[in-house]
């Protein structure tokens, strides 16, 4: 802490205001933030201290849990690939969709109605104009894409289950592939939620890439597709990595939709969160904790791995001239 000296003692008007030390400010922020970090670390430590390497090894020895690990790894990876496959086009379309013309058109219509009268019903008219302004399809699409994020997980599971009771889905199941209460349902349940996060990430990524680079690529002889492959996608690689990480981590932890849509059958649709649930339900807390720890390790490992490579890959990126 240092006292602040006035810069010019001779001219009273030039005396700087006395500013209190910033220490309190930084301290307050650090304490508020630190509480949360502490909670996370304490939680993990408590869990780790509850179990022993013996328990973890015993859990790893159980065929059911080994099956769950395999299914989790497989389904999460599949979900990640599927999510990216969908999130890249949606993210790009949403980022490059210029709805300015529609917005201005709707605004003009609404303003024309609002300004048409000064009578007593001018105010209620203004409320009636709200739906006109909301008629922008981009707003709606945006909201739809966020539904899997805001819906309770169990509800998503239930909705998927009901979807597969419809005639078309039943035909699909009888003719092409059994989904419900089988492995494909695990992937579909994970995909429904994880993809929404990947879409958000990819959209932000594409929004941050200067669209003028594509414009220049077009003048240099590229088609739209070439400009996308040669210019946009290489710049989006960090976003792709983040989206993949997010999708993978989300699907690893997915439980609600899987419980409803896939069931919790041992050696069949059992993923790691299902194992935790099943072990807990028969009172085998040690095994539940051991499996939880495995998941923590897997998640942390993936995060570190991808962040590390993400950092390296990102070196060539951004900081525009």
Interface residues toward other proteins, by CB under 8 A: 100-101, 104, 210, 212-213, 215-223, 226, 230-231, 234-235, 237, 316-321
How far, in Å, CA of 191 to CA of 180, rounded? 14
Q: How far is the CB of 81 from other proteins (least distance, A)?
A: 23
For residue 80, is it left (φ>0), alpha (ψ between -120 and 50) or beta? alpha
Q: Which tokens belong to 124?
A: 């209620």
For the chain, the farthest-separated pair of C-alpha atoms sits apart, in whole angstroms, at: 93
Q: How far is the CB of 214 from other proteins (least distance, A)?
A: 9
Q: How far is the CB of 113 from other proteins (least distance, A)?
A: 21
Name which of 101 and 127 has its Cβ closer to other proteins. Answer: 101
For residue 284, what are the contacts with CB-CB under 8 A and spacing of at least 6? Answer: none
Name which of 88 and 294 has its Cβ closer to other proteins. Answer: 88
Torsion sign, CA atoms 218, 222, 226, 230: negative
Name which of 16 and 215 has its Cβ closer to other proteins. Answer: 215
Q: How far is the CB of 210 from other proteins (least distance, A)?
A: 6
Q: How far is the CB of 308 from other proteins (least distance, A)?
A: 19
Name which of 137 and 234 has its Cβ closer to other proteins. Answer: 234
Name which of 236 and 272 has its Cβ closer to other proteins. Answer: 236
For residue 152, is it left (φ>0), alpha (ψ between -120 and 50) or beta? beta
Q: How far is the CB of 234 from other proteins (least distance, A)?
A: 4
Name which of 108 and 123 has its Cβ closer to other proteins. Answer: 108
Q: How many other C-beta atoms lie within 10 A of the C-beta of residue 73?
A: 15
Count of positions (residues) in the chain: 321
| Cβ(285)–Cβ(272) below 8 Å | no
């Amino acid at each position: 802490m240092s006292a602040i000296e006035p810069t010019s003692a001779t001219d009273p008007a030039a005396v700087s205001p006395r500013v209190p030390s910033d220490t309190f400010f930084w301290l307050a922020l650090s304490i508020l933030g630190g509480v949360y970090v502490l909670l996370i670390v304490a939680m993990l430590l408590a869990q780790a201290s509850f179990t022993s390497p013996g328990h973890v090894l015993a859990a790893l020895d159980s065929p059911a849990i080994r099956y769950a690990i395999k299914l989790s790894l497989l389904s999460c990876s599949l979900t990640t690939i599927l999510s990216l496959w969908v999130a890249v086009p949606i993210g790009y379309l949403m980022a490059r969709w210029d709805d300015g013309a529609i917005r201005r058109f709707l605004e003009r219509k609404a303003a024309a109605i609002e300004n048409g009268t000064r009578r007593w019903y001018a105010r209620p008219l203004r409320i009636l104009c709200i739906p006109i302004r909301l008629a922008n399809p981009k707003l709606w699409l945006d909201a739809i894409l966020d539904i899997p994020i805001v819906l309770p997980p169990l509800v998503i599971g239930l909705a998927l289950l009901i979807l597969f009771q419809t005639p078309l889905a039943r035909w699909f199941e009888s003719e092409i592939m059994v989904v419900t209460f089988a492995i494909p349902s695990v992937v579909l349940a994970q995909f429904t939620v994880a993809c929404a996060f990947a879409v958000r990430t990819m959209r932000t990524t594409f929004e941050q890439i200067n669209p003028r680079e594509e414009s220049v690529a077009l003048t240099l002889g590229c088609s739209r597709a070439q400009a996308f492959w040669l210019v946009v996608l290489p710049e989006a690689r960090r976003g792709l990595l983040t989206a993949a990480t997010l999708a993978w981590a989300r699907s690893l932890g997915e439980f609600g939709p899987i419980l409803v849509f896939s069931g919790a059958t041992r050696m069949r649709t059992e993923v790691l969160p299902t194992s935790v649930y099943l072990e807990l339900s028969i009172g085998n807390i040690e095994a539940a904790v051991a499996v939880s720890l495995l998941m923590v390790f897997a998640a942390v490992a993936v995060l570190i791995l991808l962040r590390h490579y993400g950092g390296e890959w990102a070196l060539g990126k951004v900081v525009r001239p």
